């Protein structure tokens, strides 16, 4: 199909679909490189407004586009109306920048940020006209590479990828790009990639693969000219990643293992990078991002440096520790926000010891009080249910803490000052590479009963309770710790119409149930599966750097209901993540 | 100072929604180095208004945006710097200082070119349209009851040339008609359906023009 003809046909289809701006590209700071000799298509397998907000792909986009010879272009999963129209018209999936067919790319990189996007991976491959299974691909097909946190258990999607990249791209992905730039032909490239220690090639058996760590975490790789999304995006502000990694050691948290050790950028670097990005994007808000920004030791000078230059700028500090200091800092940084989020995760001390969330009842109450005193009118609190060894007391504790927050609000904001408490409760899903990787997910019946209890017990006046969709949580649990046997299940479910599973209104439970049943299992059986400590785990060949012994110790400590300290200030816990230049790097 | 920006939207940019168009203009102004004035009140917002929303997919040759800046740059310089920051498909046609009521409050009429298939006997249909006392269409909108609208009253002129209907639509207290409604109403008078390929808004006319201002 000629290029002009393809463009006309795409435009004709765009006349007929919802939100056509999802497919047009052309945003500020997008890069067009017609002179490049190779094309890498970068895909987030969900809707544009979700995918464009992903920071990892913005990093990769800039990293690749720095090379003269390779163009990086973006692609997202077309919404079902668009996908169906494309199939009817015989239109191939195309990149946003140049509207080139994705199948013409040399490499298709797909980021796996969540298990509930797995069916969309197949949707993307199919729309692109790329054979689903790597073994069915030929010389004309792109090399399909997965990356991102969910790739840390590559098994469920392994047959659909030619390679899976583990860890942080900033330095380590350069070797992959070198191969694309210098070696012609798919088979020769795959052969050249086989020596890369950070690439798992499913076609070569379950060989060991390491996680790449960007030890120096230099500011030069921080993206400045980020693509500015059209206004539908969920995340529309400038951002600087101030720190990578977290060693708090929360035992449910995948990122707490996968991004170790902790690396901080200097306040000067943070301020310069933030101001530069603001200038290139036209944003009026800057977010200082990390897994726990209040733990960043340069936070106060960084804020001062930015505020000196731009006194009225709105700064947002997401992911803060539940304590008074972070609440005050957040309030001072952004006078515009009327709501604040705290994440106690569990409401009783016992459960916080089990999950290693080292905050106390007193700290939570003080933080709530500080939030209302600072003038916030909406307080949101995150909790989980279904955590290991949970009893009725833990569930009741969430209800009690919701009520307690309301009491504090009424005391601090007397005279009927308006405020609301939002209690958001998700369902715990055990993740690979965490101390809870051996635990089964709580059963559907248990979680359902707990949700029903909370709905009955939580008062509704000034308290809003939101409970995460149990159906999609169970599927997430089934996919997260699955082995390669799940590939057939995922393909069957997708063939039966599953896509956009994270969108409750799109979730097709029947398709998934039937797919699991056809393969002799069920969602619930898979999700609640427990592993013994001597069992081989599907992701054992993936070396995160954190040792299995450490995870086992931590699992033991959780059963003993003992929290573990943070190596940044309580001494080394011997997790194994540090070696040579890879170590905690704090600015103060 | 408040400026009236005349801008064109074509190419792929015509698929931007009204809100996205506004945000695109604001982002481009900020990247060009201008501070946009903020409204007073609890939730300050940038002071910008577009004369008419543009439906998704419609091309525009001269849409109008009123925007208030903190400083008062030279209009020609503003035009150049803004144009350099707009995405492919959006261009600045002109910038002039604006006074008095916003363009949005002064829209008198709009002009469109509707690209159509000539599988309808347009001269006969237009003759029927000219002779008709009234010409009703049913306007449907999601979540709203269907409304019957006499589009004849809104259409101040319409002519056909091969592949094209040119029309001018009046803006009244009761609103206006959409160009595709007119095309369908006209074709409907001789029992046909218009096959519309593309819509282009060529002009937005304002009433009470200050002396020396362009339409």
H-run or E-run covering A230: none
Of A574, A567, A586, A588, which is closest to residue A217 (Cα–Cα)? A586
Q: Tell me the percentage of chain A whose pLDDT exceeds 90.
A: 90
pLDDT, tens only, A493-549: 999 999 999 999 999 999 999 999 999 999 999 999 999 999 999 999 999 999 999
Question: What is the average pLDDT score of chain B?
Answer: 92
Tokens standing for residue B145: 């009851």
Question: What is the average pLDDT score of chain A?
Answer: 95
Name the pLDDT band for B52 (thresholds 50, 70, 90): very high
Measured CA to CA in angstroms, residue A290 lies from A225, A262, A277, A299, B2 at distances of 20, 10, 17, 11, 40
Name the pLDDT band for A290 (thresholds 50, 70, 90): very high
Query: What is the rounded CA–CA span in Å between residue B28 and residue B23?
Result: 8
**Are the beta carbons of A93 and A99 closer than 8 angstroms?**
no
Res A223 pLDDT > 50: yes
| CB nearest to B12's CB, from A19, A26, A232 | A26
Answer whether B31 sits within 8 Å of A25, measured CB to CB.
no
Which chain B residue's Cα is nearest to A278? B31
Q: Tell me the percentage of chain A whose pLDDT exceeds 70.
A: 98
User: What's the pLDDT at A172?
Assistant: 97
User: What's the pLDDT at A459?
Assistant: 96
Res A233 pLDDT > 80: no
Q: What is the DSSP letter of A20?
A: G
Chain B residues close to A283, C-beta within 8 Å: 27, 30
Q: By mean pLDDT, which of A327-331, A488-492, B118-122, B126-130 is the weakest?
A: A327-331
Instruction: Calculate mean pLDDT across residues A558-564.
Output: 97
Query: What is the rounded CA–CA span in Å between residue A258 and residue A167?
Result: 8
pLDDT, tens only, A131-177: 999 999 999 999 999 999 999 999 999 999 999 999 999 999 999 99
Answer whether A282 sits within 8 Å of B26, measured CB to CB.
yes
Which of A98, A231, A237 is the mutation pick for testing B, counting most B CBs within 10 A?
A231
Answer whether A232 sits within 8 Å of B16, measured CB to CB.
no
Answer whether A230 sits within 8 Å of B16, measured CB to CB.
yes
User: What's the pLDDT at A328?
Assistant: 86
| CB nearest to B30's CB, from A25, A230, A282 | A282
Distance (Å) from the C-alpha of residue B22 to the closest C-alpha of chain A?
9
Name the pLDDT band for A324 (thresholds 50, 70, 90): confident
Res B210 pLDDT > 60: no
CA angle A473, A541, A493 (to 5 degrees): 35
Query: What is the rounded CA–CA span in Å between residue A583 and residue A262?
Result: 7
| CB nearest to A231's CB, from B19, B56, B89 | B19
In three-state form (DSSP H/G/I as H, E/B as E, the rest C), the secondary structure along A440-455 is CCCCHHHHHHHHHHHH
Q: Does A335 touch chain B (CB under 8 A)?
A: no
Chain A residues close to B15, C-beta within 8 Å: 14, 20-21, 23-24
| A465-470 own/partner pairs: CB under 8 Å, 24+ apart | A465/A402, A465/A423, A465/A425, A466/A422, A466/A423, A466/A424, A466/A425, A467/A425, A468/A424, A468/A425, A468/A426, A468/A427, A469/A504, A469/A507, A470/A427, A470/A444
Query: What is the rounded CA–CA span in Å between residue B137 and residue B116?
Result: 19
pLDDT, tens only, A254-282: 999 999 999 999 999 999 999 999 999 98
User: What's the pLDDT at A37?
Assistant: 96
Res A64 pLDDT > 80: yes
Instruction: Calculate mean pLDDT across residues B188-210.
Output: 90
Answer whether A24 sits within 8 Å of B57, measured CB to CB.
no
Chain B residues close to A11, C-beta within 8 Å: 12
Measured CA to CA in angstroms, residue B24 lies from A21, A95, B1 at distances of 12, 21, 20
User: What's the pLDDT at A415?
Assistant: 66
For residues A252-275, one letter each, b for 16 or more C-beta atoms within 10 angstroms of the residue's C-beta and e for the rest, the string is bbbbbbbbbbbbbbbbebbbbbbb
Listing from the earlier edge strand, what are the strands of the sheet with A238-241? A238-241, A285-289, A314-316
**Are the beta carbons of B74 and B62 closer than 8 angstroms?**
no
pLDDT, tens only, A441-466: 999 999 999 999 999 999 999 999 99
pLDDT, tens only, B102-139: 999 999 999 999 999 999 999 999 999 999 988 888 88
Query: What is the rounded CA–CA span in Å between residue A468 and residue A480?
Result: 17
User: What's the pLDDT at A34?
Assistant: 93
Give the CA-trace dihedral at A261, A267, A271, A274, to 10 degrees: 10
| CB nearest to B88's CB, from A19, A26, A230 | A26
User: What's the pLDDT at B209?
Assistant: 55
Res A403 pLDDT > 90: yes
Answer whether A281 sits within 8 Å of B24, measured CB to CB.
no
Query: What is the rounded CA–CA span in Å between residue B61 and residue B41?
Result: 35
Per CB distance under 8 Å, which residues of B are interface residues toward A?
Answer: 12-13, 15-17, 19-20, 22-24, 26-31, 56-57, 85, 87-89
User: What's the pLDDT at A416?
Assistant: 61
Q: Does A530 touch chain B (CB under 8 A)?
A: no
Instruction: Calculate mean pLDDT across residues A345-369.
Output: 96
| CB nearest to B89's CB, from A26, A280, A281 | A26
Query: What is the rounded CA–CA span in Å between residue A272 and residue A277?
Result: 9
Parallel, antiparallel, or unpaired: how do β-strands A163-165 and A199-200 relate? Answer: antiparallel
CA angle A22, B59, B106 (to 5 degrees): 115
User: What's the pLDDT at A232?
Assistant: 63
Query: Where do the H-state alpha helices sit in chain B?
Result: 18-31, 75-85, 122-131, 179-188
Res B89 pLDDT > 70: yes
Q: Which residues contact A25 (CB under 8 A, 6 or more apart)?
A: A74, A95, A96, A97, A99, B12
Instruction: Calculate mean pLDDT across residues A304-326.
Output: 89
Name the pLDDT band for A382 (thresholds 50, 70, 90): very high
Query: What is the rounded CA–CA span in Å between residue A579 and residue A413?
Result: 51
Tokens standing for residue A253: 């948290």
Which of A13, A14, A24 is the mutation pick for testing B, counting most B CBs within 10 A?
A24
Query: What is the rounded CA–CA span in Å between residue A53 and residue A61?
Result: 13
Chain A residues close to B196, C-beta within 8 Å: none
Q: Does A27 touch chain B (CB under 8 A)?
A: yes
Of A40, A37, A27, which is closest to residue A75 (Cα–Cα)? A40
Tokens standing for residue B64: 């109008």
Res B214 pLDDT > 70: no
| CB nearest to B87's CB, from A23, A28, A284 | A28
User: What's the pLDDT at A293?
Assistant: 93
Answer whether B31 sits within 8 Å of A231, measured CB to CB.
no
Q: Does A497 touch chain B (CB under 8 A)?
A: no
User: What's the pLDDT at A331?
Assistant: 85
Answer whether A20 sits within 8 Å of B24, measured CB to CB.
no
């Amino acid at each position: 199909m000629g290029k002009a003809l393809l463009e006309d046909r795409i435009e004709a289809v765009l006349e007929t679909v919802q939100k056509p701006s999802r497919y047009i590209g052309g945003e500020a700071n997008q890069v067009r490189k017609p002179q490049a000799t190779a094309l890498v298509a970068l895909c987030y397998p969900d809707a544009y407004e979700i995918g464009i907000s992903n920071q990892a792909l913005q990093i990769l986009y800039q990293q690749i586009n720095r090379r003269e010879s390779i163009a990086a272009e973006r692609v997202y999963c077309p919404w079902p109306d668009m996908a169906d129209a494309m199939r009817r018209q015989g239109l191939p999936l195309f990149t946003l920048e140049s509207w080139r067919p994705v199948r013409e790319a040399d490499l298709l990189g797909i980021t796996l940020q969540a298990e509930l996007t797995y069916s969309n991976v197949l949707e993307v491959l199919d729309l692109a006209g790329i054979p689903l299974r790597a073994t069915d691909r030929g010389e004309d097909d792109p090399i399909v590479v997965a990356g991102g946190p969910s790739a840390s258990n590559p098994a469920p999607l392994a047959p659909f990828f030619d390679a899976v990249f583990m860890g942080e791209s900033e330095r380590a992905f350069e070797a992959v790009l070198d191969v694309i730039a210098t070696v012609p032909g798919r088979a020769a490239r795959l052969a050249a990639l086989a020596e890369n220690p950070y690439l798992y090639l499913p076609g070569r058996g379950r060989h060991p693969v390491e996680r790449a760590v960007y030890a120096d975490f230099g500011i030069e790789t921080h993206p400045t000219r980020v693509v500015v999304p059209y206004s539908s995006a969920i995340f529309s502000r400038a951002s600087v990643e101030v720190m990578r990694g977290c060693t708090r050691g929360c035992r449910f948290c995948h990122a707490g293992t996968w991004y170790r050790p902790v690396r901080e950028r200097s306040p000067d670097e943070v301020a310069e990078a933030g101001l530069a990005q603001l200038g290139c994007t036209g944003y009026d808000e800057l977010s200082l991002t990390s897994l726990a920004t209040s733990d960043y030791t340069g936070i106060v000078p960084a804020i001062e440096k930015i505020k000196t230059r731009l006194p009225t700028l709105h700064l947002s500090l997401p992911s803060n520790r539940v304590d008074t200091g972070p609440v005050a800092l957040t309030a001072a940084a952004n006078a515009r926000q009327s709501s604040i989020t705290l994440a106690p995760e569990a409401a009783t001390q016992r459960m916080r010891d089990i999950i290693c969330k080292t905050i106390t009842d007193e700290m939570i109450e003080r933080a709530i009080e500080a939030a209302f005193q600072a003038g916030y009118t909406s307080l949101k609190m995150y909790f989980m249910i279904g955590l290991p060894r949970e009893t009725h007391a833990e569930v009741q504790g969430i209800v009690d803490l919701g009520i307690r927050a309301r009491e504090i609000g009424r005391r601090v904001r007397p005279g009927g000052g308006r405020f609301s408490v939002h209690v958001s409760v998700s369902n715990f899903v055990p993740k690979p590479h965490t101390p809870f990787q051996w635990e089964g997910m709580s059963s559907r019946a248990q979680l359902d009963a707990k949700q029903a209890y909370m709905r009955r017990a939580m008062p509704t006046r000034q308290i809003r309770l939101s409970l995460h969709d149990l159906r999609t949580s169970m599927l997430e649990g089934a996919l997260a710790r699955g082995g390669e046997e799940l590939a057939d299940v995922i393909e069957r479910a997708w063939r039966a119409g599953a896509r956009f599973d994270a969108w409750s209104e799109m979730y097709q439970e029947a398709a998934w149930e039937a797919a699991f049943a056809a393969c002799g299992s069920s969602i619930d059986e898979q999700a609640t599966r427990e592993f013994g400590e001597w069992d081989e785990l599907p992701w054992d060949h993936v070396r995160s750097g954190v040792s299995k012994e450490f995870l086992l110790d931590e699992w033991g400590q959780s059963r003993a209901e003992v929290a573990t300290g943070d190596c940044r200030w309580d001494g080394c816990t011997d997790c194994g993540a540090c070696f040579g230049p890879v170590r905690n790097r704090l600015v103060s | 100072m408040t400026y009236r920006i005349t801008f064109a939207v074509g190419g792929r940019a015509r698929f931007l929604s009204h809100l996205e168009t506004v945000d695109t203009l604001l982002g481009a102004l900020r990247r060009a180095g201008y501070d946009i004035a903020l409204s007073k009140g609890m939730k300050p917002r940038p002071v910008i208004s577009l004369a008419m929303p543009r439906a998704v997919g419609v091309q525009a040759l001269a849409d109008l945006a009123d925007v208030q800046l903190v400083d008062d740059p030279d209009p020609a310089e503003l035009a150049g710097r803004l144009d350099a920051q707009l995405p492919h498909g959006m261009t600045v046609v002109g910038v002039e200082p604006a006074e008095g009521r916003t363009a949005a409050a002064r829209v008198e009429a709009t002009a469109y070119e509707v690209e159509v298939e000539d599988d309808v006997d347009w001269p006969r249909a237009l003759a029927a349209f000219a002779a008709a006392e009234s010409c009703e269409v049913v306007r449907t909108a999601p979540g709203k009851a269907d409304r019957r609208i006499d589009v004849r009253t809104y259409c101040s002129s319409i002519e056909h040339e091969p592949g094209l209907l040119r029309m001018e639509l009046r803006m009244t207290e009761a609103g206006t008609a959409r160009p595709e409604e007119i095309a369908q109403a006209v074709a409907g008078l001789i029992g046909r359906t218009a096959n519309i390929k593309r819509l282009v808004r060529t002009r937005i006319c304002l009433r009470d023009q200050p002396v020396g201002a362009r339409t």
